[in-house]
Amino acid sequence: MLKKILTLSALLFSLSSFAAVDVNKASAAELDGINGIGPSLSAKILKERNKGNFKDWPDLMHRVSGMGEKSSAKFSGQGMTVNGSGYQGGAASEPAKVVNTDKTKSGKS
């Protein structure tokens, strides 16, 4: 009986580790369950969230020190979301970069 309970507990734990964790709804324990988020970062997230929910990933990165593009991409890959959305890369406030891919033009007039 004990083996069944332990097996079921392990199964539920493994399933919960793949579940999406919305930063605007998650508890400290749920945030801590994401690899790379410890008690210090989860406390910063919760402190800022108490001031108001995060609108999007750039808002989260702006308001919480320690949340940059690399960590946001990593946490999103592990199931963390902001208002149900995963991190798409880049900050919304950054202008789009235009890259000239036309190799036939030398760029000179």
pLDDT at position 89 is 80
Q: Within its chain, how far is the Cα of 18 from the centroid?
A: 13
The tokens describing 58, both together, are 């750039």
Helix (H) or strand (E) holding 22: strand 21-22
Residues spanned by the domain of 70: 25-81
Q: Is residue 6 in a domain?
A: no
Q: Within its chain, how far is the Cα of 71 from the centroid?
A: 7
Q: Is 100's pLDDT higher than 60?
A: no
The CA distances from residue 37 to 24, 80, 94, in Å, are 15, 11, 26
Please tell me the pTM assigned to this model: 0.66
Domain count of the chain? Answer: 1
Q: Is residue 61 in a domain?
A: yes
Mean pLDDT over all residues of the chain?
79
Q: Is residue 91 in a domain?
A: no
Q: Is residue 55 in a domain?
A: yes
What CATH number did the domain enclosing 62 receive? Answer: 1.10.150
**pLDDT (tens digit per residue) in 31-67:** 999 999 999 999 999 999 999 999 999 999 999 998 9
* Amino acid letter, 69: E
pLDDT band of 16, cuts 50, 70, 90: very low
Q: Is residue 99 in a domain?
A: no
